[in-house]
Amino acid sequence: MMTRVHLLFFYSNNFQKLILVSDRYVKNMHVAEEIVQDMFLKIWEDKELLLYVNSVKAYLYRSVVNASINYINRQKNIEKHHLKIAEHLTDDDIDIINEQNELIVLLYNEIEQLPEKCQKVFKLSRLEGLKYRDIAAELSISEKTVENHMSNALRLLRLRVIHNIHEEDPKSKAKYFSLLSLFLY
């Protein structure tokens, strides 16, 4: 049975070589590295995979080649799917996507105007989905301080959006109300 020491030996002696093998297929060094790391992780978590293998080196190379080919096939399927979606997009769909992108740009512009700590807390909460206690730990502040920054950020963003609503045409007002309901409540 292969021990972890043996596996570490194979890892250190073959990692770079296996990345190069994978890169020949996937043509992306970062992806190749991930494929090789995933393969070693799978073996590390389940060493019994190697119990019936005659040559570990051959197994490693074959596994990397197979994983690289699988990656290429998945990418081709994703590309085909995206092309099908693109073929069926209407002008209305494109308009909706553009409006959504405008809202996102508007939101990011407004977030960038917030005071630094409010901005950081808002991004961690609303854009990265962290809980207040996790934000507090990451920023080395109390949860109450996180709550205060979040309240302040939301208050300021609501005021700015509402201010912009009064200055805009009816179509833009609808966009701002969407922004309010999606991100600020």
pLDDT digits (tens, 9 = 90+) for 23-77: 999 999 999 999 999 998 888 888 777 777 888 888 889 999 999 999 999 999 9
CA distance 127 to 120: 10
Residue 50's alpha-carbon distances to 2, 7, 31, 60, in angstroms, are 7, 10, 24, 10
CA distance 3 to 175: 60
Q: 5 vs 74, which has greater pLDDT?
A: 74
pLDDT of residue 144 exceeding 80, the answer is yes
Least confident piece of the model among 13-17, 35-39, 66-70, 89-93: 89-93
- Give the pLDDT mean for 85-103: 78
